[in-house]
Structure 1
């Protein structure tokens, strides 16, 4: 019986690193948008919840049939709609002699009893998370736990929504009851747990966003979002034979737009950062030096590589590529040194006298 549960759990742990990597950027963006920074404890809880949900889903779905064209189960009905039928199953299968307490331990080896226990335990962490992290009411927890269990049961009885020809597990109303009970047990346990862990509503009390530095991870996410916006536009204009498409788009997006939008591109806005200059108001000259060095000069040299390539001169292309490679090496070393020495400024920031700062959440500040 235990092996049947260990198999899905092992798969959940094996695939968790992949899921964690895929969820990293969305998790970070949500944290940046909502709180202005990434709290490690809050992040740990989110990843713990992700691991739990993967275990829960795998326990419900695995093992899968060998083929999509599976055969029907050898049962009268795929729906068990009699509440508390598990009591009948336990009494029918058990070897326990109720008059002899010493035989009660046999329950721990019996399928019907263990199935009930695991159905309860399956949703206990869900209820704990809802109360401790989300801080929901007991009514919301009750509805959410029932909804999660119903989702599991419908997924099973529909053969993962028609992917398999026939259901490969039963829809059991007792599972709904026990899963929901587990969620409520978790809700009650979270009341004890919150007294031994930091309060979620006080994690940010002593955080001064104006003094927090913008991490390179945050910069990279903003940069990636901006690239996803800019590249398609450059590509379309290039196909339309617009001369200097790269430089036109870059100047508008990285200099004109931030100047008009208080030092923010779309990527910067999403992760809640902005460029700030030496004074209260960001100057156009500061933006031209900062983003000009980064995107017009450094990025432009890479864009010109395509033009050199099209020219057909292999010698010129080789010389240009080697020179660009050397420049990239110098840039890489510079960025690496800035990573090691936090007080060291990136070249485009040092030359322009600008910096990246976290944008305060005005709505949140007003509410507080």
Structure 2
């Protein structure tokens, strides 16, 4: 019986790194947008919640039938609608006797009793997460527990929503009841456990965003989102053969837009950061110096190399260009790595332009009101 449960649990742990990798980007975006930074305890709880959900789901659906063309279950109905029918199953299958307390221990090894125990224990962590992290009330926790249990039951009775010809497990109203009971037990237990754990809603009370450094991860997400926005425009202008399309895009998006919004782009807005210059507002000189070095010089050299190949330049010149560009890019990469591992160093385009990234306060929608500077 123990192997029956260990098998899906092991699969959950095997596949957790894949799920965690897929979960990380949306997790980072939401956390940066909501809080402005990543709190390690909050991250730990959410990844544990993901691991729990994977274990619960695998325990419900595994093991799978050998073929999608499985045989119908040997039952008159695909659903059991009689509440507390598990009591009848336990009485019928158990070797324990009411008049003999010494036989009660047999319940711990019998299928009917263990199935009820499993359905209760399955949802205890869910109730704990709902109260401790999501700070829900008992009624919301109960509804969510019933909703998750109903999802599990429908997944089973529909043969994983039609993947299998027939259900390989049946819908049981007792499972819904025991799952909901487990969720509420976890909800109550979380109150006791919460006395020794940090309160999720109090994590940011003593956090001073002015002392928080804007991480390269946060900046990297903003960079990726900005270029995801720009890529379709870049493709359209290139297909239309607009002269100097790359230069116009850089000027419009990275110089004109941040000048009008005082340091915001779509990507920076997404992760709650903005550019800050020497004064209250960014100047054109600062933006031109920053993005002229970053995108027009460093980025433009690479774009020019790519486009020069389509203009029939001699192979010798192309080889010389490639060699110079390789040395140039390697120097930039080494400089970036040195800044990455040494917080006292600043990227050259920031140092020369006198600009830096700051974390915006929740009330700062345009970058012109209250700000929290990150050193």
Q: TM-score, normalised by structure 2?
A: 0.95
Q: Write the deviation string for residues 245-275 of structure 1: whole angstroms up to 9, x where unpaired.
A: 2111122111111111120111100000000
Distance 2:44 2:272 in 1: 22
Match of 2:373? Answer: none
Distance 1:93 1:322 in 2: 79
The aligned runs of 1:35-184 (5 Å cut-off) are 35-184=35-184
Cα drift, residue 31 of structure 1: 0.8
Q: Are the equivalent residues in 2 in contact too, given 1:130–1:141 (CA < 8 A)?
A: yes
Cα drift, residue 80 of structure 1: 0.6
Q: Write the deviation string for residues 165-196 of structure 1: whole angstroms up to 9, x where unpaired.
A: 21111000000000000000000001001101
Match of 2:362? Answer: 361
- The farther-off stretch of 223-232 and 65-74 is 65-74
The aligned runs of 1:1-368 (5 Å cut-off) are 1-312=1-312, 313-362=314-363
Distance 1:148 1:329 in 2: 51
SS in 2 for 1:362: coil
Runs of 4+ deviating beyond 4 Å: 363-366
Distance 2:65 2:288 in 1: 61
Distance 2:180 2:315 in 1: 70
SS in 2 for 1:34: helix
Q: Are the equivalent residues in 2 in contact too, given 1:234–1:246 (CA < 8 A)?
A: yes
Q: TM-score, normalised by structure 1?
A: 0.96
Cα drift, residue 73 of structure 1: 1.1
Distance 2:206 2:28 in 1: 20
Cα drift, residue 316 of structure 1: 2.1
SS in 1 for 2:274: strand
Cα drift, residue 363 of structure 1: 7.8
Distance 1:189 1:300 in 2: 59
Distance 2:73 2:280 in 1: 72
Structure 1 portions without partners, runs of 5+: none
Distance 2:355 2:52 in 1: 43
Cα drift, residue 339 of structure 1: 1.5
Cα drift, residue 101 of structure 1: 2.2
Q: Write the deviation string for residues 218-248 of structure 1: whole angstroms up to 9, x where unpaired.
A: 1111111111111221111111111212111
SS in 2 for 1:358: strand
- The farther-off stretch of 130-139 and 301-310 is 301-310
Cα drift, residue 103 of structure 1: 2.2
SS in 2 for 1:275: strand
Distance 1:363 1:318, change over 3 A: closer
Distance 1:324 1:202 in 2: 50
Q: Are the equivalent residues in 2 in contact too, given 1:230–1:250 (CA < 8 A)?
A: no
SS in 2 for 1:76: coil
- The farther-off stretch of 75-84 and 305-314 is 305-314
Distance 2:235 2:63 in 1: 46
Cα drift, residue 337 of structure 1: 0.9
Distance 2:185 2:265 in 1: 47
Q: Are the equivalent residues in 2 in contact too, given 1:119–1:179 (CA < 8 A)?
A: yes
How many residues matched?
366
Distance 1:272 1:173 in 2: 46
- The farther-off stretch of 307-316 and 69-78 is 307-316
Distance 1:66 1:245 in 2: 56
Distance 1:188 1:268 in 2: 41
SS in 1 for 2:357: strand
Distance 1:336 1:56 in 2: 41
Distance 1:214 1:25 in 2: 17
Distance 2:273 2:203 in 1: 21
